[in-house]
Amino acid sequence: MRVRNKLTRREAIVGSAAAGVALANAVSAPAILAATTAPLKIGLLNTFSGPSASTGVWNWNGVEVYLEQVKNTFAGRKVEIVKEDDQFNPQVGLEKMRRFVERDNVDLVTGVQGSNIALAVLNYVKQSKAFLLVSGAGTDALTWERVPYMFRSSLSSWQLCHPFAGWIYDDLAKEMVLVSEDYAGGRDVAREIKEPYVAKGGTILKEIYVPTTVVDYSPYLTVVRSLDPKVVYDFSTGGAHAVRFVQQWGQSGIKAKLCGFAGFVDATTIVQQGRAGLGVVSASIYSDQIDSPVNKRFVADYRDKFKEPPNLFSDYGYVSMQVLDAALQAADGDASNKDKLAEAMAKLRLEAPRGPFRFDPVTHTPIQNVHICEEREKDGQFIQAVIAEVNDVQAPPTKNG
């Protein structure tokens, strides 16, 4: 629709009442239409430096693939991305979030991989009423908050850990050792694996927490070896941390079955982890092996652009854009009306590369399938084979269920 900012020559000559009405409409309409046809400015906050930088890069890769598929346009509006690096530092993350809202005047914000970053910006998001779509952080503290303009398109720790804990108990062993990075997200995951596992009758032989800056895992693996467990569950933040842990695990000679959180061993990390990753089992919402038209297109386009398969973090980025696009289309492209956009977000249903996707209207966390995957070798290549699936997993609305 084209809006005129001045009278046509014929209207000026005739001076009719109809021309006067057209002028009145032309004066009032531009302000309304400008909000829905101007470029959509999205702040993207993620970790692009330090040991966890690869997770932010993979997320951004997924964003780029989706934007190329839709020709960089959501609901008729060109998309402008403003990227910032939180350096996996809560203080830096908060500073960058403030910059998005107070200086850059973005329409909305997405990203936030680290749970420590998510918790650092949470109060500011509440106070500023910024619209935030978290495309990474899994901390359950976000599940149980009630923030009208905050949604999460990734996952929650509860969502992955509870079904996986039951599977480990039923299919692997009745005792295990927990190893986790020592920060908010790692503590969340350890708790969410431990509670349902113990409730079923399982025993946690030991909980081991390691610094997020760790490079040499050998002192911790020595402790694990001395316990001689049947199963070890590890939470590493993905990327370099996960690669190092699995490589050093393979050298340790420990015979236990190794399990982990999403992204621990996947289509990307296993290339560097090599044969040490074979047999490792993890719970995830995504595998490049999922057989669906949406995922096949995503994998093909991703491989064509980056010459490697997508992983969990790539799916995070892709789905965040898919969600924003669908919600904005339902909201007639208007990001200024946050209530309308939030309502559209809460009601949307879509088919993502990971499978069917929708939001819990109460927690604003996805209801989605959880895939239990094992790294295997097929036709000379390592793959993340889906060996079991739990459908429509929904985190409880409160901490106590």
pLDDT given for residue 237 in this prediction: 77
Mean pLDDT of 321-346: 97
The two beta strands, 381-393 and 203-210, are: unpaired
CB burial of 109-128 (b: ≥16 within 10 Å; e: otherwise) equals bbbbbbbbbbbbbbeebbeb
Residue with tokens 């911790």: 220
Helix, strand and coil percent figures for the chain, each rounded to 5 = 45, 25, 30
Residues 6+ apart with CB under 8 A from 141: 115, 118, 119, 122, 184, 188
Q: Where do runs of H (alpha helix) occur along 233-361? A: 240-252, 269-273, 293-306, 312-330, 338-347
pLDDT score for 53: 92
Tell me what the mean pLDDT of segment 261-285 comes to. Answer: 90
Distance CA 100, CA 303 (A): 32
Lowest mean pLDDT among 41-50, 186-195, 238-247, 353-362: 238-247
Q: What is the mean pLDDT of residues 234-244?
A: 86
pLDDT at 134 over 80: yes
3 state DSSP class of 114: coil
Region class of 188: left (phi > 0), else alpha (psi between -120 and 50), else beta: alpha
What does the pLDDT read at residue 10?
34
pLDDT, one tens digit per residue, over 10-27 is 333 333 333 333 333 333
Which amino acid would we find at residue 360? D
pLDDT class of 401 with cuts at 50, 70, 90: low
Asked if residue 353 has pLDDT above 50, the reply is yes
Report the predicted TM-score, pTM, of the whole model to 2 decimal places: 0.85
Which residues partner with 178 through β-bridges?
Answer: 207, 233
Residue 265 CA to residue 73 CA, distance in Å, equals 34
The 10s digit of each residue's pLDDT in 136-181 is 999 989 998 989 999 999 999 999 999 999 999 999 999 999 999 9
**Domains delineated in the chain:** 40-155+291-364 (3.40.50.2300), 158-284+372-393 (3.40.50.2300)
User: pLDDT category, 239, cuts 50, 70, 90?
Assistant: confident
